[in-house]
Amino acid sequence: MSARSVKPNTILTVHGDTAARKVIGRALAREGHTILEATDGQTAVCLASAHRPDMIILDATLPDMNGLELCVTLRSLPYVTHTPILFVSERHSAYYVAQALDCGGDDFLHRPFAPRELKARVRALLRRAERRNKDGTRPVLRLDGGAHRVQVNGRSVQLTVTEYQLLTYLCQQPRQHHRAHDLLTAVWGYAPNEGDTALVRNHIRNLRRKIEADPDRPHIILALHGRGYTINAVIEHEQGQPACP
């Protein structure tokens, strides 16, 4: 795909280094994209909420929070749950790259970089997002914490307290896989690697019976052998947002 044929998108760049932010902005503006710029995490959250960008580019270090914290915060926003996020950072350790991907990042680009590589990474992530959006198959989950209720594509489902807590925890990081023992610790309060994983399987089965169109062929709560459970849905919920400056 040539630069001329790239579909224009709105891209939010979040970088504490002005020079780096300008280099990224200029390279992508030449592709026809609209560029929003933030120098800190709070401004980034406000811009993401107001403009719902098609893609976000994050630095690892910001004045008010680190990039990992910001990525988790952005992923909790209803309209950023599945927005492509690219980390661009001078931090090269394999451990940090793994952290960035685990907390919700889609790709990681090391600085310094060639503008051609940046644009290629951006095109690839935007193509992937466009294909996913065209599918239009992901259900919408609206969480109501006060009533322990969830709406699935507008259909209201009443859950038990534990079922709601389990679903909410899975929805906090929908792209991450959660092992049964991790869920026993996070939701039921067991010590690490203690408790019976059948408890998790039973609650997952009950949740699927309530929220899946076909519990035997689930499309919302997915399981990958050896990695755990994950959520495939657009997630909406009420939550307070930081005041914009």
pLDDT one-digit tens code per residue, 105-155 = 989 999 888 999 999 999 999 988 776 665 556 788 888 877 778 999 888
Reference 70, options 90, 51, 47, 50; nearest CA is 47
Mean pLDDT of the chain: 85
Q: What's the number of domains the chain is made of?
A: 2
Place of tokens 């350790």: 93
Indicate if the alpha-carbon torsion angle 60, 63, 68, 74 is positive or negative: negative
CA distance 132 to 124: 13
Specify the higher pLDDT residue, 4 or 43.
Answer: 43
Q: What is the pLDDT of residue 244?
A: 52
For 33, 57, 122, 153, 173, the CA distances from 3, given in Å and listed in that order, are 11, 19, 11, 37, 33
Q: How far apart are the first and last CA of the chain?
A: 39
Report helix, strand or coil for 90: coil
What are the φ and ψ backbone dihedral angles of 148, each rounded to 5 degrees? 55, 50
User: Is the predicted pLDDT of residue 82 greater than 80, yes or no?
Assistant: no
Residue 94: is it exposed, middle or buried by C-beta count within 10 angstroms (0-12/13-18/19+)? Answer: exposed
Specify the higher pLDDT residue, 46 or 128.
Answer: 46
Domain annotation covers residue 68:
yes
User: Do 147 and 210 lie in a common domain?
Assistant: yes
Among residues 117, 135, 153, which one ends one of the domains?
Answer: 135
Q: What is the pLDDT of residue 134?
A: 57
Domain of residue 167: give its range: 140-237
The answer to whether 55 touches 86, Cβ cutoff 8 Å, is: yes
For 130, 166, 216, the CA distances from 47, given in Å and listed in that order, are 21, 30, 41
User: Is the predicted pLDDT of residue 191 greater than 50, yes or no?
Assistant: yes
Is 0.85 topped by the overall pTM? Answer: no
User: Do 203 and 186 lie in a common domain?
Assistant: yes
Q: What is the pLDDT of residue 52?
A: 86
> What CATH number is attached to the domain comprising 49?
3.40.50.2300
Domain annotation covers residue 245:
no
Among residues 91, 117, 135, which one ends one of the domains?
Answer: 135
DSSP H stretches of helix in the chain: 18-29, 41-51, 67-75, 94-102, 115-135, 161-172, 180-188, 197-211
> What average pLDDT does the segment 194-205 reach?
95
